[in-house]
Amino acid sequence: MSLPRSRWLADPLCWALAALLLLTFGMPRLKPLFAALFPALDRPLYEQDSFAALLLSHLAIVALASAVATGLGIAAGVFVTRAAGREFRPLLETLVAVGQTVPPVAVLAIAVPLIGFGALPALIALTLYGLLPVLSATIAGLGSVPQGAIDAADGAGMSGTQRLLRIELPLALPVLLGGVRSSVIGSIGTATIASTVGASTLGSPIIVGLSGFNPAYVIQGALLVGLLALVTDLGLARAGRHWARWQQVD
């Protein structure tokens, strides 16, 4: 992708990404600013971890949880739309919907006594949380594939697997990617509370700031989480348009 310079400049994704990186690495330089804004605070800059390390571990937890949720969600969505798994569809949909009604904090609270503190309970909570949007988007996406295309694929002599991989999933992709996108964005937000159980994420400054009456920490964490969510959303939307280019032609 070699875009002319003006296209780069007009691209919100580039601006958001630049802002995210600048703030992540340049936050210490803003210490005087936060000191001026909050003169009552002894320590106006969160310095327990570097923001780069927090960003990386936030990303790692979200990436891992989203990868598992996406893989499981698509696999389950495919399974319940095949002849063999059709009867499990209502059961699975109910299970995931019920899972979604339990707030993420509650999942963390239940997971900690069972698994202990750290990144693992956070990963489990995020994965469970990321499942529903992917699963329902997979089912909706596969359901949106025109019956004619399925009939034609069968009539052409495709096997069930060929039809799924060559026709159904690619045609379901735009809807499916929408689900993945909302799942990942949700996980980025939920991962901030994961720092309450000891996972180190961009939520750490927020939690520490809230419990220690330090609004500067809260702002620093929230700014970065917000920018990360924005960059990810724009990036996934861009990727989605790229993978479903055929939809744009007219």
Partner 1 sequence: MIEWQAVSKSFGNVPAVKELSLTIAPGEFVVLIGASGSGKSTLLRMANRLVDPDQGRVLFKGQDTRALRAEDLRRRMGYAIQSIGLFAHWTVARNIATVPELLGWPAARIAARVDELLALFDLDPGLYRGRYPQQLSGGQQQRVGVARALAADPEVLLMDEPFGALDPVTRQALQGELARIHRASGKTIVLVTHDIDEALRLASRIVLLDRGCIVQAGPPAQLLLQPASDAVSDFIGRSDLGLKLLGLLSVADRLRAGESAPGEPILVSASLREAMSAFVVRQTDRLPVVDAQGRPVGAIGLNDLLRRRE
- Residues near partner 1, by CB under 8 A: 146-159, 162, 166-167, 170-171, 173, 244, 246-247, 249-250
In the complex, the smallest distance separating the C-beta of residue 80 from partner 1, rounded to whole angstroms, is: 23
Q: Which residue has the tokens 């923001």?
A: 51
What sign results for the dihedral spanned by CA atoms 85, 91, 95, 100?
A: positive
In the complex, the smallest distance separating the C-beta of residue 156 from partner 1, rounded to whole angstroms, is: 5
In the complex, the smallest distance separating the C-beta of residue 10 from partner 1, rounded to whole angstroms, is: 28
If the CB atoms of residues 125 and 142 are measured against partner 1, the closer one turns out to be 142
| CA 88 to chain centroid | 26
If the CB atoms of residues 39 and 155 are measured against partner 1, the closer one turns out to be 155
If the CB atoms of residues 137 and 188 are measured against partner 1, the closer one turns out to be 137
In the complex, the smallest distance separating the C-beta of residue 169 from partner 1, rounded to whole angstroms, is: 10
Closest to 196 measured CA to CA, from 69, 103, 67: 103
**Phi/psi at 117 (5° precision):** -80, 165
Closest to 70 measured CA to CA, from 122, 119, 137, 161: 137
Q: C-alpha distances in angstroms, 130 versus 16, 66, 185, 228?
A: 24, 6, 9, 17
In the complex, the smallest distance separating the C-beta of residue 160 from partner 1, rounded to whole angstroms, is: 9
If the CB atoms of residues 107 and 171 are measured against partner 1, the closer one turns out to be 171
If the CB atoms of residues 40 and 249 are measured against partner 1, the closer one turns out to be 249
Evaluate whether 230 touches 186 at the Cβ level (below 8 Å): no
